[in-house]
Each structure stands twice: as C-alpha cells, then as structure tokens.
Structure 1
Amino acid sequence: MEDLKMAMNEHMDLMADLVQKFTAELRTGFQPAYDNFIGFFHAIDWKEPWLIGLLSFHFALLLVTFLSRKHINFQMCLFLLALSGVYLAETINKFLGSNWKKFAGQNYFDPRGLFLSVLWSGPLLLIAIIILLNTLFSLCRLLIKWKRAELRHRALLARNKQD
C-alpha cells in the first residue's frame, strides 16, 4: 500500500510539474511565434517573379475553387490535384533546391522543406480543406433534399391508402 501511495505522489508531482511548465509557456504568449513569423516574412524577397507567379497560381486556384463550388466532380479533381501537389512537395523541394540559381535570387529550399511547406503545401492544403468542407455541406443539402422527398412520398402513399 505504501508503494502505491509513493507511486501516486510521484505521478502527481510529475503532472504538477508538466502543468506548471505548460502554463509558463502560455504566459509567454504568442510573441516568440510572432517574432519567428516576422523574421520568415522579411527574409523573403517578395518581388521575385517566380514568387509572384506562385502566389498568383494559388490565388487563381482559390478563385476556381469558389467559382466551381456547385460542380462537385470538378472539385473532386481539384481536391486530388491539390493533395497530389502536397504529396510531391518533397520531390519538388529537392528539384528546386538543386536548380534555384536558374530562377531565384537566393536558395529558399532548405533540406527540411520549410519554405516550400509554407508557400506551396500550406495554400494547397487550405484549398483542399475548403473543397472538403464544400463537399460535406453539399452532401448535407443532398441528404436533406432526399429525406424531404422521402417524407413527401410517404405522405402521398398514406393519402392514397386512405382514399
């Protein structure tokens, strides 16, 4: 029984220590993350043509996503293309990392792929999430429409039975 009490006390001390560390991190706020983001943002030359093209591509893809919101089959193709782009990000990062002198002023393509993850995969994942949410809402609307038609059909059958 004494061993169980000691184990429980050790566990409670460990949990209290973890909670204390977590709350200390929360008290520091978002300032470190904000500082990292600002440093990342300022390290990029946003006037490079290929970056402008990449951002334009993502904007055009987002626009196509919103304009085609009622065409589920087309959106599923866009969804698969966006996820394929995310899947190929590592290969794209390696290729661009070895050829960056041909199109960029500096090498943005680190071995871990942070830059490409933020500026390539991030927007593609956001677009994929938008498509997924649109599909879910469309399915909900379709279910509601189907259920209403089913209820109307049952009411019609009940009315015909009474007559």
Structure 2
Amino acid sequence: MAELKSAMEEHMELMADLVQKLSSELRSGLRPAYENFIGFFHAIDWKEPWLMGLGAFHVVLLLVVFISRRNTNFQMFLFLLTLAGVYFAENLNTFLRKNWGSFSGQNYFDPSGVFMSVLWSGPLLVNAMIILINTLFSLCYMIVKWKRAELRHRARAASSKQD
C-alpha cells in the first residue's frame, strides 16, 4: 500500500511539473517562435539568383494550380508532381548539400533538411492541399449533378409509366 501511495505522489509531482512547464510556455506566448522565424529569415541571402528562381517557381506553380482548377486530370498530374517533389526532397537536399558551392554563396542544406522543408516542401505541400480541396469540391459538385440527373430520370420514368 505504501508503494502505491509513493507511486501516486510521484505521479502527481510529475504532473504538477508538466502543468507548470506548460503554463510557463503559454505565458511566454509565440515570442520564441517569432524570434526563431525572424532569425531564420535574416540568415538567408534572398538576393541569390537561385533563391529568386525558387520563389518564382513556387509562384508560377501556384498560378498554374489556380488557372487549371477546372481541369481535373491536369490537377491530378500536378498533385502527383508536387507530392513527388516532397518525396524526393531528402535526396535533393543530399545532392544540393554536396554541390552547394557551384550555385550558392553559403551552404543552406543542413543534414536535417530544415531549409528544404521550409522553402521546398512547404510550398509544394500547400499547393497539394489546394489541389486536394479543389478536387473534393469538384467531386461534391459532380455527385450533386449526378444525383439530380438520377432524380430527373426517375421522375421521367415514373411519369411515362403513368401515361
């Protein structure tokens, strides 16, 4: 019984410590995350041509996603292409880490792939989510259209039987 009581007290102390840490983090707010983001943003030389090209690529891809929103087959191609880009991001990061000197002023390609995740995979995933949401809306519209056609067909069939 004493072991159970000590285990419960130990558990309560652990829970109190976790609650205290959580409340102190909540009191600090988003300030540390904001400071980390600003530090990350300022560590990058945005005037490098390849970074401007990467940004232009993502903007053009986003425009293509919006312009082609009515073409479901092309959207599925883009969806698979963006997901393939995310899938191969680790291999691309490894390749770029080995060859960064030929195109960049500094090595952004750390072994954990933070830079690639933020500036390559992040925008690709946003595009993939936009395509997915658009496809779901298109499918919902198609289901409604199909159901209306089915109801019209049934109404015509019922009215022809009555005649």
* Matched residue count: 163
Who is 1:102 aligned against? Answer: 102
Who is 1:21 aligned against? Answer: 21
Who is 1:157 aligned against? Answer: 157
Q: What do residues 36-87 of structure 1 show as CA deviations (whole Å, max 9, x unaligned)?
A: 0000000000000000000000111110000000111111111111111111
Q: What do residues 78-123 of structure 1 show as CA deviations (whole Å, max 9, x unaligned)?
A: 1111111111111111111111111111111111111111000000
Who is 2:56 aligned against? Answer: 56
Write out aligned runs for 1:128-143 (5 A).
128-143=128-143
Sequence identity (%): 70
Who is 1:65 aligned against? Answer: 65
The TM-score normalised by the length of structure 2 is: 0.91
Who is 2:112 aligned against? Answer: 112
Taking a change above 3 Å as real, the CA distance of residues 152 and 110 of structure 1, as seen in their structure-2 partners, is same
Alpha-carbon distance in 2 for matches of 1:22, 1:141: 44
Cα displacement (A) at 1:150: 1.1
The TM-score normalised by the length of structure 1 is: 0.91
Cα displacement (A) at 1:20: 3.3
Question: Quick one: which amino acid aligns to residue 122 of structure 2?
Answer: G
Moved more, 69-78 or 10-19: 10-19
Q: What do residues 13-49 of structure 1 show as CA deviations (whole Å, max 9, x unaligned)?
A: 5444433322221111100000000000000000000
Alpha-carbon distance in 2 for matches of 1:150, 1:10: 65
Alpha-carbon distance in 2 for matches of 1:50, 1:159: 67
Taking a change above 3 Å as real, the CA distance of residues 2 and 160 of structure 1, as seen in their structure-2 partners, is farther
Taking a change above 3 Å as real, the CA distance of residues 91 and 153 of structure 1, as seen in their structure-2 partners, is same
Question: Quick one: which amino acid aligns to residue 71 of structure 2?
Answer: H
Who is 2:121 aligned against? Answer: 121
SS of structure 2 residue aligned to 1:144: helix
Alpha-carbon distance in 2 for matches of 1:7, 1:138: 56
Structure 2 residue ranges without an equivalent (≥5): none
